[in-house]
Amino acid sequence: MHAQGTENFEKFKRCSAYETVPELKAKGRIRHFGSSFHDRAGIMKQALTGYPQVEAVQLRLNYVDYDALTGLGAFKPIPRIFGCAV
């Protein structure tokens, strides 16, 4: 799932995307369930808490936005806590 953040996360929840992907995986239509993430660390933690079936998270890292995102250090431990690849 691309560009997950506050707005898109809510949109994906409303259309049951997080429930549909594991079903597709069980049917062999997809092999892995990952997400790219474009928001603050707290929102990512909320998403992974609610949907622990996410297997991998790709983080956005723009050096221009580095300070605004409170640095990579805020993000690094979260996917590993949930057993996701980064």
* Model pLDDT for residues 31-43, shown as the tens digit of each residue: 999 999 888 888 8
Specify the number of domains making up the chain: 1
| Angle, helix 41-50 to helix 6-14, in steps of 10 degrees | 20
Mean pLDDT over 50-56 rounds to 90
Retrieve residue 77's tokens. 């431990």
Q: Does any domain span residue 56?
A: yes
Mean pLDDT over 6-33 rounds to 93
Written as one string, the DSSP assignment of the chain is --SBSHHHHHHHHHTTHHHHHHHHHHTTS-S--EEEE-S-HHHHHHHHHH-TT--EEEEP--GGGTTTTT-GGGTTHHHHHTT-B-
Q: Does any domain span residue 13?
A: yes
Domain containing 42: what range? 6-81
Mean pLDDT over 10-25 rounds to 94
Q: Does any domain span residue 86?
A: no
Question: What pLDDT score does 57 carry?
Answer: 86
Residue 71 — pLDDT band, cuts 50, 70, 90?
Answer: low
What is the percentage of the chain residues whose pLDDT exceeds 70? 73
